[in-house]
Structure 1
Amino acid sequence: MVNQISNRLCPGTLRQVHHIAFNVKDMKASKHFYGQILGLHELTGDEVPKTLSRLVREGKVANFVTPDGTVIDLFWEPELLPPDPDPKQGFTRANHLAFDIDPDLFDLAVEVLKQNQVMIDHGPVTRPTGKGIYFYDPDGFLLEIRCDPRE
């Protein structure tokens, strides 16, 4: 829908995030991180979008899905350089991607990150909006696991 008066989309037109695409240097490390450490489901076989099936077969793309249906596409870029050698220097266009978790599972998620020696940026932090921990994926992109406050 387009609002004819202001030439903008009406509220509610965009329904949800469909997918997020990341360029990754080490596909094996990234697949392990998103699949084994974060526990996201990797799309395989008929689950892979037809438009990406050739690239998935060739090992150039991997697709993971969150429980709410958001797809994370990993595009293999073996020559990818980090935006800065210091992973604490932010990307220029994006700040971070946040995953929501049940408050009862937050401490478990923190422990899993520590056991897997995932580089933690900061946290856990507690705010009026809940708890969060910020950490890096294998390519230095900042991620967060957060939860609402317990009721």
Structure 2
Amino acid sequence: MSAVKPSGIHHAAYRCKDAKETVEWYGRVLGMEYTTAFAEDHVPSTGEYDPYMHVFLDAGNGNILAFFELPKQPDMGRDENTPQWVQHLAFRVGSEEELLAAKKHIEGEGIDVLGPTHHGIFRSIYFFDPSGHRVELAADIGTDEQYAELERVAPLMLDEWSKTKKAPRHADWLHEIARQEREES
């Protein structure tokens, strides 16, 4: 018997502080269309009383981003044991030009933007949504050969990491590309 093979992500769901503010922000800042909402007083899977608003946004290419507003739960927080840069929502943009245009637009909305950051095979910008979720926009810039090499060394890197818990050196060339570009800028 084979393992389950999903055909894609149906939706990814996160908590938000305010459903209306979230829908408006993602529409205004990232151009996402608000498509669907569910609201219940009882959780369908457990039956427990916990009123919620569940909103769905079209993130493009059949990808759906969803949020829950939970007014009866304690105020929303974050995992204080995990650095803010770790947990984030990353969205692809079509080019470096689109990335730079997005940065200008987002900063025009009064939002602080970090980057662009060069990752060797993609460039990214980072900012926070109204609920405190870190958001990344990324533009792929790598070559087919670079992506193939990263796929080839991925198992080697994971094996070495699991033994040493130190950054494997199999993809140092990637960091060198980013370093050289920073020096040229």
Query: TM-score, normalization: structure 2?
Result: 0.60
Q: Tell me the CA shift for residue 108 of structure 1.
A: 0.8
Residue among 87, 92, 101 paired with 1:100: 92
Q: Which has the larger radius of gyration?
A: 2
d(CA) in 2 for partners of 1:30, 1:123 = 23
Residue among 20, 41, 46 paired with 2:33: 41
Between Structure 1 and Structure 2, the one with more helix by share is 2
Root-mean-square deviation (CA, aligned residues, Å) is 2.7
- Structure having greater relative contact order (Cα 8 Å, sep ≥ 6): 1
CA deviation digits over 1:107-147, x for unaligned, max 9? 11111111112243x31112321210111111111110000
Residue among 68, 73, 76 paired with 2:66: 73
After TM superposition, what 4+ stretches of structure 1 lie above 3 angstroms from structure 2?
A: 52-55
d(CA) in 2 for partners of 1:132, 1:124 = 5
**Per the alignment, do residues 59 and 32 of structure 1 end up closer, same or farther by CA in structure 2, a change over 3 Å counting?**
farther
Residue among 19, 22, 25 paired with 2:17: 25
Residue among 104, 110, 127 paired with 1:135: 127
Residue among 49, 54, 72 paired with 1:61: 54
What are the residue-to-residue correspondences of 1:111-126 with 2, within 5 Å?
Answer: 111-120=104-113, 122-126=114-118
SS at match of 2:110: coil
Q: Which runs of 5+ in 1 are unaligned?
A: 4-8
Mapped contact 2:38–2:53 kept (Cα < 8 A) = no
Q: Paired residue for 2:78? A: 83
SS at match of 1:16: coil
Mapped contact 1:82–1:139 kept (Cα < 8 A) = no
Is 1:145–2:134 an aligned residue pair?
Answer: no
Q: Tell me the CA shift for residue 53 of structure 1.
A: 4.0
Query: TM-score, normalization: structure 1?
Result: 0.72
